[in-house]
């Protein structure tokens, strides 16, 4: 049995009879303070809360349509789960952003086994990506879909890490330009190149694909250079979607990031796509948000944070989580304390990103874009 300690002097208390309801009373012999021993079941409630959040269980199927469940777990929504610092070097890290409409995006980094880090921001930019990368040891290869601001952050935080552009995303970019049933001869040939890209799994097939693509560029150079006059008198590319696909593919090839997974320097088989994070991370997260739809933006962000933390390498037990993670009040006090002591600073140190507090909890008639 756990014997309580005095809240005043910290000494062990002794039994001091019972209350009228039969509850054990305790008393400190040193200072005379008495108290009633109560069992703290918050850890059990948190365990039940996380089990519900990461499953498809619906509140409407609970006793009382979930009213008791919501009342007991209201205080647990105050916790903010944050990602730990990852010192272990992994050979491959997958990164991607999960957008919550146009209001926020959660940047996630993972391996084949665990989620390594997560970060919430207004948009995918170098500042947000840098905050995520700074807490993770640089891997050998990072697989990305080429999100905005990622390359700038990588050069700063992971300068020696090789980049593999997701081949499937490149394929989809080409498909967007050509459509699935193209009519123009140039689009038909580019469509065939896009399909062949998914089958380029060896160095020989990769080199052949690059040669075929270069032949396509030379053959349709004049066709892609055609321009059309607009009503306001400016000239625009007649086949703008094909030109956009050409430019993006040329940049990827120039940076040598399309077939990084086929380099000879790797001792293991490197992935060519971002399917791991799309299928094993983003898909379950979207399903969780659908199962528990109707939550506010803050709670959707926290739900994603909790899911990522429970799939991190070494999640703590619920009792330890209650002592480790800060609450909304803790973050608000830290924010106001920093604002009072850094009036002349250009930015205010705070938990997470400004989106968490300034954008969600501070409503003004003026636009405030920290990112």
Distances (CA, A) of 222 to 219, 230, 234, 239, 243: 8, 20, 19, 11, 11
Q: List phi, psi (to 5°) of 60.
A: -65, -20
pTM comes to 0.81
Give the separation between CA 49 and CA 70, rounded to whole angstroms: 10
Give the separation between CA 259 and CA 15, rounded to whole angstroms: 72
Task: Tell me the domain boundaries of the chain.
Answer: 1-39, 169-269
Spatial strand order in the sheet of 104-110: 115-121, 104-110, 92-100, 141-144, 162-165
DSSP letter at 200 equals: -
Give the separation between CA 36 and CA 16, rounded to whole angstroms: 9
What percent of the chain has pLDDT above 90? 61
Instruction: Count the alpha carbons within 13 Å of 59 in the hemisphere toward its beta carbon.
Output: 15
* CATH classification (class only), 1-39: mainly beta
Q: Is the Cα torsion angle 41, 46, 47, 51 positive or negative in sign?
A: positive
Tens of pLDDT, residues 97-140:
999 988 899 999 999 999 999 999 999 999 999 999 999 999 99
Angle at 125 between CA 283 and CA 250, to 5 degrees: 85
302-325 in b/e form (b: 16+ CB < 10 A) is bbbbbbbbebbeebeebeebbeeb
- pLDDT recorded at residue 348: 46
Closest by Cα among 226, 265, 309 to 54: 309
C-beta of residue 73 within 8 angstroms of C-beta of residue 45: yes
- pLDDT recorded at residue 232: 87
Residue 364, pLDDT > 80, answer no
What integer is the mean pLDDT of 197-212? 95
């Amino acid at each position: 049995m756990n014997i309580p300690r005095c809240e005043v002097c910290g000494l062990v208390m002794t039994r001091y009879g019972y209350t009228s309801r039969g509850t054990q009373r305790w008393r400190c012999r040193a200072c005379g303070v008495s108290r009633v021993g109560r069992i703290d079941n918050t850890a059990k409630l948190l365990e039940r809360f996380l089990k519900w959040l990461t499953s498809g269980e619906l509140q409407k199927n609970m006793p009382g349509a979930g009213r008791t469940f919501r009342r007991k777990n209201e205080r647990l929504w105050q916790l903010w789960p944050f990602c730990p610092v990852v010192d272990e070097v992994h050979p491959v890290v997958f990164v991607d952003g999960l957008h919550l409409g146009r209001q926020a995006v959660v940047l996630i980094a993972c391996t084949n086994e665990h989620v390594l880090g997560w970060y919430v921001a207004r948009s995918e930019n170098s500042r947000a990506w840098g905050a995520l990368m700074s807490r993770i040891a640089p891997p050998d290869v990072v697989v990305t879909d080429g999100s905005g601001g990622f390359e700038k952050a990588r050069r700063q935080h992971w300068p020696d890490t090789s980049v593999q552009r997701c081949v499937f995303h490149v394929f989809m970019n080409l498909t967007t330009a050509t459509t699935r049933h193209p009519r123009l001869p140039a689009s038909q040939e580019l469509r065939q190149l896009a399909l062949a890209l998914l089958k380029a799994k060896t160095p020989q097939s990769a080199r052949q694909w690059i040669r075929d693509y270069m032949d396509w560029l030379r053959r349709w150079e004049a066709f892609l250079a055609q321009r059309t006059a607009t009503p306001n008198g400016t000239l625009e590319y007649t086949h703008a979607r094909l030109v956009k696909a050409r430019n993006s593919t040329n940049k990827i090839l120039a940076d040598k990031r399309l077939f990084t997974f086929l380099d000879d320097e790797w001792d293991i088989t490197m992935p060519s796509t971002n399917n791991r994070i799309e299928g094993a991370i983003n898909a379950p997260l979207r399903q969780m948000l659908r199962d528990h739809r109707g939550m506010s933006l803050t709670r959707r962000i926290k739900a994603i944070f909790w899911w990522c933390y429970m799939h991190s390498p070494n999640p703590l037990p619920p009792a330890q989580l209650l002592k480790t993670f800060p609450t909304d009040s803790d973050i608000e006090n830290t924010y106001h304390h920093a604002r009072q002591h850094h009036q002349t600073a250009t930015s205010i140190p705070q938990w997470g990103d400004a989106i968490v507090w300034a954008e969600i909890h501070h409503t003004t008639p003026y636009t405030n874009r920290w990112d």
